[in-house]
Structure 1
Amino acid sequence: MAEFDVLSFGETMAMFVAEQTGELADVERFNKRIAGADNNVAIGLSRLGFDVGWLSRVGDDSLGRFIVAALQREGLDCSHVGVDPQHPTGFQFKSLQNDGTDPSVEYFRRGSAASHMGIADVPERLLDARHLHATGIAPALSPSMNALTRHLMTQMRAGGRSVSFDPNLRPSLWPSQAHMIEQVNSLAALADWVLPGLAEGQLLTGQERCEDIARFYLDLGVHAVVIKLGADGAFYCSHEQQGYVAARPVHKVVDTVGAGDGFAVGVISALLEGRDLPKAAARGNWIGSLAVQSPGDMEGLPTRAALTADENR
C-alpha cells in the first residue's frame, strides 16, 4: 500500500505580510505566515482529506521550526523534512493590497536550506506514493533541486504513478528565459497532467491559442492539459476531449496570490477521485475563486465538508 496519497516537495518560506498598505519600506508591523506554491497545493489536498507527504529542508533556526509546526497543523506528514545546520530558512516580505492588484513580494531565499536538497534526500519508500505533484519552482532553485525534481518525476511515472506539473514560472530564478523554457518544457514532458496559466503556456510553447498550447504538450506525451484562464475560466484538453469551463463569479478580489495553487488543488483532487476533465476544471475554477477572495496564499483553501456542500448545491 502506498505510504501517501500524494507526495509533494519544494521550499516553504516564512512570509512576513504587511499589516498596512503602502511601500514595504514604510511598513512597521508584519504578520508571520508561511509561503510556497508547492506547499499551498499540499495543504489544499490535505484539507480535502488526502494523506500528503511533504519532502523539504529547513534551516536549524526559529523560522524553520515555525514552518514545520505550521505544516504539521495542516495535516502534512513532515517526517521527511530535513534540518540543515549550515544553511538558513528562506523568507519573504509581502505588501498588503486591498484593491485587487498583485502585492509586492521581496524574496530572501538565495542559498537557503531547501536549495541545497538533492537526489540523496529522496528515501526510496517515498516513491510508493500514489501521486506526485511538481512545479517549475523547485528546479529553478539550484542544479541539485533540478536533478531531484527530474528524479522524482521520472521514477514516479516509470512506476505507474500519476504525476501533475504546474510550470509556476519564476524567471528571476533562472539564468535566462531560453534556459527556463527548455528546462520547464522538458519537465512537463515527464508529467501526466500539465496545468499552465495562459500566459505561461504562450511563453513556453510559442503558441497563442489554448488548443495549440495543449497540443504542444500532448505531443510530448502528456495525457491531459488544463489551462488557467483567470476570469475566463479554464480550458481542458486530452486526446479524447476538449472544451472550456466558465469561471465562478467573484464578488471582490482580495489577494490574487495562490489562485493558481487553488486551481491545481481542485483539478488534481478531482482527477485522483476519478472525475472527468470538465468536472476537474470546474472544481479548479471554484477553489481558485475562493483563493482570490481570501487574504494570504492558502487561507481560502476549502475543507472536504465545504467542497461537499458546494457540489451538493
Structure 2
Amino acid sequence: MVELKQSEGGALQLGFAGDTFNTAYYARLEMPDSWAVDYYTCLGTDRMSDDMVAFMADNRIGVSSICRIAERQVGLYMIHLNNGERSFSYWRSNSAARLLAQDRARLRAAIDGADVILFSGITLAILEGDGADTLVEELGWARDAGKTVAFDPNIRPRLWRDQQEMLRVLEKGARAASMVMPSYDDETTYFGDASPEATIARYRDWGARDVILKNGEHGALIATAAGITPIAVEKVETVVDTTGAGDSFNGAFLARYALSGDAVEAAGRAARVAAAVIQHHGALVDPAVMPV
C-alpha cells in the first residue's frame, strides 16, 4: 500500500508499506544475496503502481509474479501516532490486491515457486468473493507438500464485516499454516485466551507445528517440537513509532530460521531488529539503523 507517515516536525511523508511486504523487506535485509525474496500481489497499471513495483525491485524483492489490473489501483493508509502508539486510516476499496486470489493458476504458480510463504489476517480480510477460501486451500496444499507456511493473524477488526466472521476465517487461515506468528494482545482480546500458553495450545490444537508468540515488552515465546522457550527483548528508552514492529520481527525470524534452523537464535535476532525499528518513524526503516 501507499503509506503516509509522520516525519520529524509532523510533516507527512509518502512511502510504500503493508504488513506482508514489511515482512519481506526485513527478511531481505537478513538474507544473503544467494537467497531470493519475492512478493506476490495484484497492482494497477497506473503510475503509483509502477512506482511501487520499482520500489520493491530497488530493495531486491522479486516482482515477477505480480499481476496488473487496469481497472484497479493501489490502496493507501495513513499512520496516526500518540506517544509512539499507532492507529490507521485506510483507503483501499478499489485496491487491486483484493483480487490476488482470483486467478488460481497464477496463485498456485507463485506458491509453488517458494519454500517459505507468509500470509496474514489482513490478506484474508481484504479479499473479495471467495478469495479467502481459495487462498487458504492453496496454502493448505503448500503445507501438505512440505513447504513452511507462516501465518500472522494480525487482527484488524475494522477490516471485517463482523467479529464472528473474523474469528471463523482466521481459524481457517491458522489451520492451513505450519507456523503461526500471533501477537498475544490481539489473541487475548479477540479469542479470549487466558494466558500466552493458552494461545499456543489453541494454535497447536488447530494444527500448527510451531507457534511464535509475540508479547510486546514481555518478549516472545517460541513453541516448537523442542518445547517452549522465552525470548527477552531489549529495553527501548524512547519508542518513536511501533508501526512495523511485529512485521520486522516476523521477517527477521523467518530469514534467520530458514538459514540456521535454530528458532531460538532466530527469535533473539528478530527481537533486536524490532527494537531498532520502533525507534524510527514508519514501517520500513533505513537498513543503516539495523543492529549488527
TM above 0.5, yes or no, is: yes
Amino acid at match of 1:269: A
> Which residue of structure 1 aligns with residue 42 of structure 2?
57
Name the CA distance, whole Å, in 2 between partners of 1:256 and 1:268: 20
In structure 2, runs of 5+ residues without a counterpart are none
Q: Paired residue for 2:192?
A: 206
2:132 aligns to what?
146
Superposed CA offset, 1:273-300 (max 9, x none): 2333322221221111111012110115
**Cα deviation code 1:232-271 (max 9, x no counterpart):** 1111223431131111121311110000001111221222
Which of 120, 136, 142 matches 1:135?
Answer: 120
The amino acid across from 2:273 in the alignment is I
- Tell me if the contact between 2:243 and 2:278 (Cα under 8 Å) persists in the aligned partners: yes
Quick one: which of 87, 107, 110 aligns to 2:72? 87
Match of residue 17 from structure 1: 5
Match of 1:4 in 2: none
Secondary structure class of the residue paired with 1:79: coil
Partners of 1:78 and 1:243 lie apart in 2 by 36
The match for 1:113 is: 96
RMSD: 2.2
Question: How many residue pairs get matched?
Answer: 286
1:34 alignment partner in structure 2: 16
Distance 1:302 1:233 in 2: 24
Counterpart check, 1:175 vs 2:161 = yes
**Per the alignment, in what secondary structure is the counterpart of residue 54 of structure 1?**
coil
Kindly indicate whether the alpha-carbon contact (under 8 Å) linking 1:225 and 1:237 is maintained by their aligned counterparts in 2. Answer: yes
Match of 1:164 among 150, 155, 160: 150
With 240-249 and 142-151 compared, the bigger mean Cα shift is at 142-151
Q: How far, CA to CA, are the matches of 1:246 and 1:108 in structure 2?
A: 36
Q: What is the rounded CA distance, in whole Å, between the counterparts of 1:104 and 1:20 in structure 2?
A: 18
Task: Tell me how far apart the structure 1 counterparts of residues 45 and 146 of structure 2 sit (CA, whole Å).
Answer: 36
8 A contact 1:47–1:302 mirrored in 2: no
- Counterpart amino acid of residue 267 in structure 1: F
Say if 1:221 and 1:145 are closer, same or farther in 2 by CA, change over 3 A: same
* Residue matched to 1:215: 201
On the 8 A contact 2:108/2:138 being kept in 1, the answer is no
Task: Name the CA shift for 1:167/1:141 in 2 (closer, same or farther; >3 Å).
Answer: same
Question: Which residue of structure 2 aligns with residue 243 of structure 1?
Answer: 229
Task: List per-residue Cα deviations over 1:97-154 (Å, max 9, x = no partner).
Answer: 4x64323422110131111222414152641311111111111012344134313311
Question: Using a 3 Å threshold, how does the CA distance of structure 1 residues 288 and 302 change in structure 2: closer, same or farther?
Answer: farther
How far apart are residue 201 of structure 1 and its match?
A: 2.1
Q: Structure 1: which amino acid aligns with 2:257?
A: L
Moved more, 13-22 or 243-252: 13-22
Change (3 A) 1:224 1:20: same
Q: 1:175 to 1:110 in 2, by over 3 A?
A: same
> 1:200-245 CA deviation, whole Å, 9 max, x = no partner?
2224543221111101111221111111111111112234311311
Equivalent position of 1:3 in the other structure: none
- Contact 2:53 2:63 (8 Å CA) reproduced: yes
State the partner residue of 1:102. 85
Contact preservation (8 Å) 1:195, 1:226: yes
Which shows bigger deviation, 143-152 or 130-139? 143-152
Q: Which residue of the partner structure matches residue 78 of structure 1?
A: 63
TM-score, structure 2 as length reference: 0.90
Question: What secondary structure is seen at the aligned counterpart in 1 of 2:66?
Answer: strand
Distance 2:116 2:205 in 1: 22
**Corresponding residue to 1:294 among 265, 280, 283:** 280
- Note closer, same or farther for the CA distance 1:60–1:144 as it changes in structure 2 (3 Å cut): farther
Tell me, what secondary structure is at the counterpart of 2:89? Answer: strand
Normalized against structure 1, the TM-score is what? 0.84
d(CA) in 2 for partners of 1:174, 1:188: 17
